[in-house]
Amino acid sequence: MMTRWYEKPLRIADLGAMPFKFGTVQEAVKMVERKKDLHFNAEHFGPFAYEGGERGVFYFASAVADRVPLDLLGPYLAEAHRAGIKVLIYFNVHWLALDFGRRHPDWLQLKRDGTPIDDVYGLGMSPCVNSPGYRSWSCQVIRDLARYEIDGIFLDGPIFIASGCYCSACRDKFRASFGRDLPAQEDWEDQGWRDFIEFRYRSITEYMRDSRAALKETRPEAIIYMNGQGLWPSWPNGRDNRRLAEYQDLVGAEGGFIGGDLTRESLWKPAMSAKLLETQAGGKPTVVFMAGKNCGWNHYLLTPVETELLYADTIAHGASPWYGIFYENSTGEGTQAAGRMNELIEKSSEYLERTSSIARVGLMWARRGLATTSRGSAVTSRPSPGGTSPSTCWTSRLLRRSLATMRFSSCPMWRACPMRRPAASSPGCGTGVPS
């Protein structure tokens, strides 16, 4: 069977311009060379003027743009394709700038008291996937993008904000589906509340279905995926990777965003994320999103070793890496390490294509159980102070035993793998991890 391009190991860049504004076509096109030098073979590229969220300012022709200062997408795509880079358009569908949101009150996610949720990332609003107006607008954006030679679309979101949504569209749709009003409060003993959680999952899935259809009707060969669910409870945002996989060509999640004191961060976070995604993706390729920065500090890159560990963890567990930083930081040492890991993947792709797990032991991740026991907390992404979470501990035990018995000695991937180093000397290794 022929392997499609996105089924081969991907090395996805997201070197976003900062600020997200372009004055000339050349400003965008010049970034391609850097991505090529760093051995990326795909990217997320955002032809939007984001500033405090989506504001309707596009760098491509669209029937629904508020403003198009410059149409640069065509020349950009031509240059990226010349460099051998597949371009997936980054489209933010969960964060609206305040003034833009206020101009579209029927799009907005509302709190229980009927006021808009306006503190997204501190300051911003979020569109509701059930709003007919927003659904129509965002699908038209996708159709307009699909008129260009794009290779696909990445949707950042779609999600519910945990405190939403109580807009009229959600109220009407919930009443039609479940025969009652939206629950007035969070009460896990109440069937109405549990129906509301199910309603969120269904709503996000239906939005993804319609987004996919909008893309495929114009450009059937293009792919689509979204920022999916990682290792934290899924009910607040309404993302169910298993259902969503049907309407995606890749399945990805933020499994490599680490920050703060890295001695408190699980070394195995990307590994756990990759394995989770593999079980949910229904055989589709998986992507672990890795931030090149120490999260919380936008311009502080991870060290080369920390970067290598994220990459190695991702690759070793069958996922493709997505590496994201601001373009202006792309000459830093951490990014050079990402480039070297990309080159390693490029040279070793025959060992990475269509791999399958040889694991004999599974670790249960109970999505429904998490909804009723942990509520909103991220239970494995960060060890609790003074120790590690049960999932992290068990993952560590299993991985260390498995790695000791794997037979990869002839593979260049394994010879170069930073995980062969003693864990105690790895900056990303959490304390208190059992051996």
DSSP string, 183-213: PSS--TT-HHHHHHHHHHHHHHHHHHHHHHH
Helix (H) or strand (E) holding 309: helix 304-316
Smallest gap from residue 136 Cβ to Zn ion (A): 15
266: CB partners within 8 A, 6+ apart: 272, 380, 381, 382, 383, 388, 389, 392, 395, 396, 430
Residue 161's Cβ-count burial label (10 Å; 0-12, 13-18, 19+) is: buried
Return the closest-CA partner of residue 67 out of 78, 80, 51, 79. 51
Q: Contact at 8 Å (CB) between 234 and 370? A: yes
Smallest gap from residue 169 Cβ to Zn ion (A): 5
Nearer to Zn ion (CB atom), residue 211 or residue 395? 211
d(CA 196, CA 219): 35
Smallest gap from residue 84 Cβ to Zn ion (A): 42
| Cβ-count burial 364-374 (b if 16+ within 10 Å, e if not) | ebeeeebbeee
Smallest gap from residue 128 Cβ to Zn ion (A): 3
Q: Contact at 8 Å (CB) between 9 and 349? A: yes
Nearer to Zn ion (CB atom), residue 36 or residue 111? 111
Smallest gap from residue 165 Cβ to Zn ion (A): 3
Nearer to Zn ion (CB atom), residue 167 or residue 398? 167
Smallest gap from residue 210 Cβ to Zn ion (A): 15
Nearer to Zn ion (CB atom), residue 155 or residue 159? 159
Smallest gap from residue 109 Cβ to Zn ion (A): 6
- Within its chain, how far is the Cα of 100 from the centroid? 24
d(CA 7, CA 273): 19
Interface residues with Zn ion (CB under 5 A) are: 128, 130, 165, 167, 170
Nearer to Zn ion (CB atom), residue 238 or residue 321? 238
Handedness of CA 350, 353, 356, 358 (dihedral sign): positive
Nearer to Zn ion (CB atom), residue 38 or residue 226? 226
Nearer to Zn ion (CB atom), residue 49 or residue 226? 226
Smallest gap from residue 203 Cβ to Zn ion (A): 8
Smallest gap from residue 227 Cβ to Zn ion (A): 19
Smallest gap from residue 238 Cβ to Zn ion (A): 11
Nearer to Zn ion (CB atom), residue 130 or residue 280? 130
**Residue holding tokens 């319609």?**
210
Three-state helix/strand/coil letters over 332-396 = CHHHHHHHHHHHHHHHCHHHHCCCCCCCCCCCCCCHHHHHHHCCCCCCCCCCCCCCCCHHHHHHH
Return the closest-CA partner of residue 215 out of 133, 162, 150, 124. 150
Smallest gap from residue 173 Cβ to Zn ion (A): 8
Nearer to Zn ion (CB atom), residue 28 or residue 170? 170
Nearer to Zn ion (CB atom), residue 169 or residue 325? 169
Report CA-CA distances (Å) from 23 to 59, 69, 428. 10, 8, 40
Return the closest-CA partner of residue 9 out of 414, 351, 254, 310. 351
Nearer to Zn ion (CB atom), residue 158 or residue 339? 158
